[in-house]
Amino acid sequence: MHRGITTRCIGLVASNDNPAQPKSIKLCKATFHTRLLDLHRSNSFGPHTPVPVEEPLGGGWVSRDVQDESSLLYTRQRDIHDVGIVLAQMLMGLDVVTRVQDPHTAIRACMSCFLLVFLMLGSF
């Protein structure tokens, strides 16, 4: 299980052996770093320890695990939910969680855009 998968945690990494090879995707700061932040939120390390600002998710974008239980609880379902949000941000822009009220509306909007592009390309 990972913790707090966001677009800030995903990066492209080149191979040290052969830089000409395609880059691979790496998940960074999604386990230990997030665990430390969670510990600091629940029991502060001290008054001089800064807490990074997080983008709040709208009500429809929050995982059921976070709504029903603690935000410090991480499950596989929450990981899959976070990966879905990252995929939506990759397809529709990073601000999709603020522009669209919930994932269902975002999927409908994305499907209509793909259908429109398909129809336009088919007419040429």
What are the 10-residue block averages of pLDDT along the chain, 124 residues in total? Answer: 74 79 80 74 75 69 75 77 85 86 83 69 58
**What is the pLDDT at residue 124?**
46
Would 2 be classed as within a structural domain? no
Would 89 be classed as within a structural domain? yes
Domain count, the chain: 1
Task: Print the domain residue range for 93.
Answer: 7-122
**What is the pLDDT at residue 122?**
65
Give every CB contact of residue 81 below 8 A, 6+ residues apart in sequence.
63, 64, 65
For 9-33, write each residue's pLDDT tens digit: 888 888 777 777 888 888 877 677 7
Count of beta carbons in the 10 Å neighbourhood of residue 88: 19
Question: pTM higher than 0.85 for the full model?
Answer: no
Would 94 be classed as within a structural domain? yes
